[in-house]
A and B are shown apart, each in its own frame.
Chain A
Amino acid sequence: MSRRSAAITINGALLAIALITLCPLLWMVSVSFMRPGEASSFPPPFLPAQATLANYRELFAQTGMGRHFANSLFLATSATALSLLFNVSAGYAFAKLAFAGRDRVFRVLLGALIIPGQVAMIPLFLMLKQIGLVNTYAGVLIPTMANVFGIFLVRQYAMSIPDELLEAARVDGAGEVRVFRSIVLPALGPILVTLAIFTFLGSWNDFLWPLIVLGDDKLQTLPVALAGLSREHVQDSELMMAGSVVTLLPVLALFLVLQRYYIQGLLAGSVKG
């Protein structure tokens, strides 16, 4: 096959695949601007006859999506802050600070990665009930403050910090906290961004745990509210698409802006593992 025809075939195939892959998302945006009932016709329309913001208006006025959006934003941001707080220092410790039993503990942690999270969910729920944290934000956030994947990510990256740098600082009389603050954290910059993205996205997209812990509709997050909405409004596809757009917009925007860090983290997490 000549180079030119190969180029056409391959690029053409990629274009087709990209279009098919993006088609659901593009259709979602298009339908969200259609009039109620317009999408439920045959043949299914690709573009709205006349774009309207009615669905978005109804979404925020009637279904309280604004509230759920704010809840998700608050939870995702808090989760990110907490994750950075707990996982970074632990990751650094496992990489650079020698303490008794360090490697054995780390191996145990790695083993935890095989256990599906759902195993812990039911007892965790009962535990939170005892402490009285059911139906609170704290109940959603606390179990996920630290996680093995985050520690692993940071550790992988921290290992590449030259030991001499740390030793030099210690010799100069700096305490461990000082070393951490002034040398390690700046060096960890990129992986901090990666961890932040992963945590934010993970929290924003989390479904089962907020579903179980948060009973009060006012506290509920966007994905759970959307799922509930989809059962009530089975016929109202336009409204549901608007809801999906609102849910996906932050996630896709964040990804587009910071995809380099995201993909880097993805590779660090799986290629080494």
Chain B
Amino acid sequence: MRGGAGRAGWLFASPALVVIAVFFFLPVLAALVLSVTDFDLYALADIGNLRFVGARNYLRLFETPLFWKALGNTLLFVVLGVPLSIAMSLGTALLLNAGVTRLKGIFRTALFAPVVTTLVAVAVIWKYLLHTRYGLINYALGWFGIDPVDWLGDPNWAMPAIVLFAVWKNYGYNMVIFLAALQNIPPDLYEAARVDGASAVQQFRFVTLSALAPTLSLVGILTMAGYFQLFAEPYVMTQGGPLQSTTSVLYFMYEEGFKWWNLGSASAVAFVLFLIMFAVTLLQFYVARRWSRA
């Protein structure tokens, strides 16, 4: 019987494993190989034009100003977007979880709706919302006496505009996670704190936040990992502009690979991004562990 189950196991699992091996792991390995060659249009025309260049693609990247700009843009997006998104998610989750909240289900659906929408479709909407003259956002800003901002035309404001859009689209996702975690906090903890004389703020700090710590850490890591992969928003809304201010690392990779067909260089960018994300994730794990031990 054991042997039968074992064989059945491989039988059941192998179709999926084969697909993943052939169409994911194999290309990833191939990308690694590509990244140490100078595969480009010349090589596509005549494979004899291919050279093994070792780490040169990687080193060249560090000499490419646009790569650093893309990295900077992506970091700006992450630094602005992740805290904003988490704050928004946590805030709305807390509101939803409050005892006095009515129509929880409807509110949750409404706040979550942007998450399932097709990115391109809503990016198109936001492109018009952000229009300098006819957009609702500048119109609303006008109510507060703020001059119209050229969101998508001014190199200084394009990335903040994309941050705004991304946060709007994504915060519902983490909100649901926080909500589930909040609902799992035993009410006796709050009861005990109240009995000890803790104020609402103190209850929040010592009960809520500490119970949420592992979720916060997880959400932070997931959100950061997602935000590092910024691509579709610049592609649809700004084409990496104006003046390359919204070119993210992945957008840079897309242009290297599918606009200029420097496939070797593009693969190097992909791996550098992966390494950066890996390092940042490890860092977050480390920080989270230090923090929870403190």
Contacts and interface: CB of A to CB of B under 8 A. Distances in A.
Interface in B225-280: 225, 229, 231-232, 235-236, 250, 253-254, 257-258, 263, 266-267, 270-271, 273-274, 277-278
A40 interface: yes
A185 B277 CA distance: 37
B41 interface: no
Given A43-B139, A170-B1, A176 B8 contact: yes
Interface residues of B, number: 89
Interface string A181-213: 000000000000000000001001101100010
Given A24-B168, A122-B34, A176-B8, A267 B121 contact: no
Q: Top 7 closest A-B pairs, CB basis?
A: A99-B9, A97-B9, A90-B16, A123-B30, A176-B8, A146-B16, A120-B27
A28 B125 contact: yes
A266 B277 contact: no
Given A44-B136, A247-B121, 12 more contacts: A18-B110, A21-B114, A24-B126, A39-B128, A43-B139, A119-B267, A122-B270, A148-B20, A207-B120, A223-B121, A226-B124, A230-B120
Given A11-B100, A40-B134, A116-B229, A255 B270 contact: no
A90 B9 CA distance: 8
A25 B92 CA distance: 19
11 contacts: A10-B95, A21-B110, A93-B13, A98-B2, A116-B270, A122-B34, A123-B30, A127-B30, A251-B118, A266-B173, A271-B215
The dominant DSSP class at the A interface is helix
Interface string B2-28: 101111111111011101100111111
A252 B122 CA distance: 12
A271 B180 CA distance: 9
A114 B111 contact: no
Interface stretch (B54-62, B65-73, B101-109, B203-211): B101-109
A142 interface: yes
Contacts of A97: 5-6, 8-9, 12-13
B125 A24 contact: yes
B212 interface: no
Nearest to B168: A21
Interface of B: 1-2, 4-13, 15-17, 19-20, 23-28, 30-31, 34, 92, 95-96, 98, 100-102, 107, 109-114, 116-122, 124-129, 133-136, 139, 168, 172-173, 176-177, 180-181, 215, 218, 222, 225, 229, 231-232, 235-236, 250, 253-254, 257-258, 263, 266-267, 270-271, 273-274, 277-278, 281
Contacts of A151: 16
Given A208-B231, A262-B116, A271-B177, A240 B274 contact: no
B168 to A, nearest CB: 7
Interface string A113-139: 011101111111011000000000000
A248 interface: yes
Contacts of A18: 107, 110-111
A159 interface: no
Contacts of B281: 114
B271 A240 contact: no
Which among B92, B116, B173 has the highest number of chain A CB atoms within 10 Å?
B116
Given A24-B168, A122-B31, A123-B34, A270 B124 contact: no
Contacts of B271: 119
Contacts of A223: 118-121
Interface in A250-273: 251-252, 255-256, 259, 262-263, 266-267, 270-271, 273
